[in-house]
Amino acid sequence: MRKWLAATLALSLAACSATKQDQVFLDEMGQLSKEEILAKGDALAAEHDREEARRYYSFLADSFPNDPLGRKAALRVADSYFESKDIESLTEAQLRYKDFANRFPNDPNRAYALMQLGKTYSKQRRGPLRDLTPTREAVAALRQMIELFPDSQNATEARELLASCQEDLALHELEVAKYYITSKGWQGAYLRLTYLIANYPDAAAAVEARALLAKAEAVVGPLAAAPGTAAAAATPVPGPS
């Protein structure tokens, strides 16, 4: 009974303390301008106190969602999660960058949000022989960024990261084609190789793919031109996992 009372008292004191802390924080916010709140968050972030910095950014973003400074703070919240690097934080950053890009299509920082979205997915890549979902999502975000903002200051970095992601996708197609060749499935190999060369012509894997395609064409012959086969190349098939 005494242990239960002690625990209850401890919880009550903690709640009271939290309430006082919240009130102190709100009182502080009442004394600061929007610019000062953002600067306070930036100072804390510079000291790697991301959690505390996030309190200031979140207050500004939630209180002024349509203000340019409020939107900037919303991106700072996403950045604070992105910089934490663990998978849970990356997922949170991913959701916030995507939300920003969707909610504010005309914001000048949308290019940055899409760039960061691509980077959050890219950081979750597991290589060409594993789940390619993060890689494909990264490609989609980066392509959108480049198409919408070709002259953005982040465009060069986006193109480089896009090429890296496409290398993984191309290598995946090459490995599956090799699997087919090993299994004497020349038609499947032909489809994979032609798909690779058509979609990732500048990838390093395309060099080997062209050499293998010549062998596949010699075996497949007229079957290679069968109607509908090009579309089939994009269909997942058994292969390395």
The whole-number pLDDT of residue 18 equals 55
pLDDT, residue 218, reads 86
- Residues 92 and 1: their CA atoms lie apart, in Å, by 42
Residue-wise pLDDT tens digits, 200-211: 999 999 999 999
pLDDT band at 230 (very low <50, low <70, confident <90, very high): very low
Above pLDDT 90, what percent of the chain?
63
What's the confidence (pLDDT) of residue 235?
A: 39
* CA nearest neighbour of 189 among 168, 218, 150, 228: 218
Higher pLDDT, 129 or 10: 129
Asked if residue 127 lies in contact with residue 167, where contact means CB atoms within 8 angstroms, the answer is: no
Give mean pLDDT, residues 141-169. Answer: 95
238 pLDDT above the threshold of 80 = no
User: pLDDT, tens digit, for every residue of 36-94?
Assistant: 889 998 999 999 899 999 998 998 999 899 999 999 999 999 999 999 878 999 999 99
Residue 97 tokens read as 């960058």
Rounded CA gap, 231 and 222, in Å?
17
The answer to whether the CB of 109 falls within 8 A of the CB of 93 is no
Checking if the pLDDT of 224 tops 80, the result is no
What is this structure's pTM? 0.78
* Domain residue extents for the chain: 29-83
Q: Is the pLDDT of residue 97 over 80?
A: yes
Q: Which of 62, 90, 60 is nearest to 78 (CA)?
A: 90
Q: pLDDT band at 129, cuts 50/70/90? A: confident
User: Please, what is the average pLDDT of the chain?
Assistant: 84
Place of tokens 């969707």: 102
Question: 224 or 170: whose pLDDT is higher?
Answer: 170
What is the mean predicted confidence (pLDDT) over 96-120?
Answer: 95
91 by DSSP, 3-state: which? helix
The H or E element spanning position 25 is: helix 2-31
DSSP 223: G
